[in-house]
Amino acid sequence: MLNTNGYKSLMHFKDVLTPTTFLERTGRVFPNKTAIVEGKDIITYGTLLSRARCLADLLDSLNIRYGDRVAVLAENCLTVIDAHFGIPAIGAILVMLNPSLTSSEIEYLLDFSGASILILDANFSHKVLPECQLRLKHLKNIIIFNGTCDLDNAIDYEKYIDRQHKSNRELDKVIRDENDILTINFTSGTTGSPKGVMCSHRGAYLHSLGQILMLGLNPQSRYLWTLPMFHVNGWGHIWASTAISATQIIYSSYSKEEEILSLLHQYSITHLCGAPRIVRKLIKQVSENQKYTELTITTGGATPPPSLIQELIKIGVRFIHQYGLSETYGPFIVCEKQEEWDKMPFDRQAKFLLRQGVPCIHAGTGMRVVDKDMRDVPKDGHTLGEVIMKGNTVSTGYFKNQEATEQAFRNGWFHSGDIAVVHLDGYIEIRDRIKDLIYVETDHGWENISSIEIENFLSSHKYVNEAAVIGIPTKNTSRIIAFVEIANNLSVNEKDLKEFCNKGLPEYKCPEAFYFKTLPKTSTGKIRKNILLADILPDTLERTLC
């Protein structure tokens, strides 16, 4: 065929970009190298390749076809890694579910995504009710591991793997178009209008290579899984670690968090990632004289407090601050360290490093901060604008939600909803979110939850007219406060609403305090949350909402 500059070239030589290639190559080149350490088990790249091929065979035998959705409900474990290669190997779409979700939320997402298969960690089998299976006609089979379950059409995963002969299937050969969907990751808004962020094979491939470069992963790296794998596919680090043939260490979240420190020493960990809260917990356990010069810690998800950055620098850690969203496959922006910062006192360094920064290598130049008319804000460290992003590692849209897609991805850019300033050196610094997301700690990690979701739930109470929910950041998590306007002078008290919430929301989404009052609004009808907050916490107003 003739390409656009007129020379006959051979397009069929182009290989599709898909992260399954990484395991196909590493499994062949380093079959005996340790891929994964999980408790006492050591899994080589040869075994991982073989497991992923078996999973693909199993799905194929269950008549899962190109584009079908396969959901996974599990904590960090080997099977989740298998799933990240075995599912896309047949062109099916991976849907990771958050194990903190309630039964009804899980059912909703299984329904909405139209999943044909659920790969289920038996520790969460109580969350999938038999009635749900009856209602969801498209859910053909359950693939169960870590134990058994009473659900119909359940297949024991490990038994299948043990029984299988060696599969010769190649993982990276079926993808028709690298822009086809590889995963759907659900953002926190789980009711009303769920948004399933679609990520492509091309995007995941390029994002993975970019993350290797940003983190400085190499074949000798030992990566500790402190990040939840269900969260934006663990920032793509399953694929990245596999591409560079690093070793991944998984620990059970049932182990106490203090164990992280001993794992760090036991496995000479070189890389770990997590929200500032996780990193803070780890640092608290470290004695001041201990140095960790071989350790790289990457944070994201929230702005790290300067004190935390200083502590990390003091103990010799290489600190990386990345920023991104589900819509950008995780990290898209990084606070690249300039050589001259090294010479600064720690507190000054920390001030530079808490900024979100500049585009990652894989993000190229696809970042802007703009006003509502899409004009770039000046580089003055002062003028607020919205962070917008564009590039190969920006989502191709929301699954079955054209309206939300058109809204968020308007004008050819993804609108993050995050408000930032641009400093003179081009580094951005996030100042707020447009949407009121609340950052909370859960049993299985951390999450940004939507105040709108809780508000909608409260409003579903027959006596509640309207509700406004605010998260007040505390040291480790957020306090969720609800302001409620009661209909027609009906009688409902805090205890009633707490019970109502406990029945329908996961515990971490339940407000801890309720205030009953008429909600103040702007002329266009939006609730003025800053006024509500000022009533109860006047001194925090400036800090929490600007």
Q: How far is the CB of 98 from a copy of itself (least distance, A)?
A: 22
3-state secondary structure at position 141: strand
- How far apart are alpha carbons 385 and 417 in whole angstroms? 10
**Are the beta carbons of 270 and 296 closer than 8 angstroms?**
yes
Site for a copy of itself in 48-77 (CB under 8 A): 66-67
- Closest residue by Cα to residue 183 from 169, 204, 166: 204
Q: What b/e readout covers 57-81, taking b as 16+ CB neighbours within 10 angstroms?
A: bbbbebebeeebbbbbbbbbbbbbb
276 belongs to the binding site for a copy of itself (CB under 8 A): no
Answer for the pair 130, 152: CB distance below 8 angstroms, yes or no. yes
| Contacts with 63 (C-beta within 8 Å, 6 or more apart), sequence order | 140
DSSP, collapsed to helix, strand or coil, labels residue 126 as: helix
Using alpha carbons only, give the angle 164, 168, 174 rounded to the nearest 5 degrees.
115
Shorter beta-carbon distance to a copy of itself: residue 214 or 510: 214
Interaction between residue 183 and a copy of itself (CB under 8 A): no
> Of 250-258, 393-401, 430-438, 444-452, which segment contacts a copy of itself by CB under 8 A?
393-401
Which of 28, 159, 291, 521 binds a copy of itself (CB under 8 A)? It is 28
What is the edge-to-edge ordering of all strands in the sheet holding 271-274?
41-44, 34-38, 247-250, 222-224, 271-274, 296-299, 318-325, 330-334, 358-359
The reply to whether 338 sits near a copy of itself by the rule CB under 8 A is: yes
Rounded Cα distance between 353 and 334, Å, is 9
Residue choice 209, 309, 428, 482 for contact with a copy of itself (CB under 8 A): 209
What's the token pair of residue 438? 């609340």
Which amino acid is residue 57, in one-letter code?
A: D
Q: Taking CB under 8 A as the rule, which mask of x and - marks residues 158-177 in contact with a copy of itself?
A: ------------x-x---xx
Q: Which residues contact 212 (CB under 8 A, 6 or more apart)?
A: 240, 243, 244
- Does residue 488 belong to the site contacting a copy of itself (CB under 8 A)? no
349 contacts 313 by C-beta, under 8 angstroms: yes
Distance, in Å, from the CA atom of 283 to the CA atom of 297, rounded to the nearest integer, reads 11
Question: Shortest Cβ distance from residue 261 to a copy of itself (Å)?
Answer: 27
Q: Nearer to a copy of itself by C-beta: 220 or 266?
A: 220
Number of residues that bind a copy of itself (CB under 8 A): 70
Cβ closer to a copy of itself: 12 or 503? 12
Cα gap 228→441, rounded to integer Å: 12
Residue identified by tokens 């000022």 is 534
- For residue 29, the minimal CB distance to a copy of itself (Å) is 5
- Of residues 403 through 442, those in contact with a copy of itself by CB under 8 A are 405, 409, 412, 414, 426
Residue with Cβ nearer a copy of itself (3 or 522)? 3
Q: Is 3 in the site for a copy of itself (CB under 8 A)?
A: yes
Q: Cβ 206 to a copy of itself, closest distance in Å?
A: 8
DSSP state of 110: H
**For residues 261 and 408, which CB has a smaller minimum distance to a copy of itself in the complex?**
408
Site for a copy of itself in 218-257 (CB under 8 A): 218, 243-244
Q: Does 545 bind a copy of itself (CB under 8 A)?
A: no
Stretch that binds a copy of itself, among 204-212, 263-271, 284-292, 458-466 (CB under 8 A): 204-212
Shortest distance (Å) from residue 31 CB to a copy of itself: 9
CB 332 within 8 A of CB 324: yes
Q: Is 30 in the site for a copy of itself (CB under 8 A)?
A: yes
Distance CA 497, CA 512 (A): 10
Rounded CA-CA distance 277/505 in Å is: 23
213 binding a copy of itself? (CB under 8 A): yes
| End-to-end CA gap in the chain | 56
Contact flag: residue 4 with a copy of itself (CB under 8 A): yes
Answer for which of 179, 303, 456, 476 binds a copy of itself (CB under 8 A) is 179
Of the residues 54, 72, 87, 91, which one makes contact with a copy of itself according to CB under 8 A: 91
Nearest to 393 by CA among 432, 366, 415: 366
Taking the complex as a whole, the smallest distance from the CB of residue 515 to a copy of itself amounts, in Å, to 41
Of 351-390, which residues contact a copy of itself (CB under 8 A)? 358-359, 361, 364-366, 390
Is residue 198 involved in binding a copy of itself (CB under 8 A)?
yes
Q: How far is the CB of 184 from a copy of itself (least distance, A)?
A: 9
Residues that bind a copy of itself (CB under 8 A): 3-15, 17, 21-22, 24-25, 28-30, 32-33, 66-67, 91, 93, 170, 172, 176-177, 179-181, 198, 200, 202, 206, 209, 212-213, 216, 218, 243-244, 336, 338-340, 358-359, 361, 364-366, 390-392, 394-397, 399-400, 402, 405, 409, 412, 414, 426
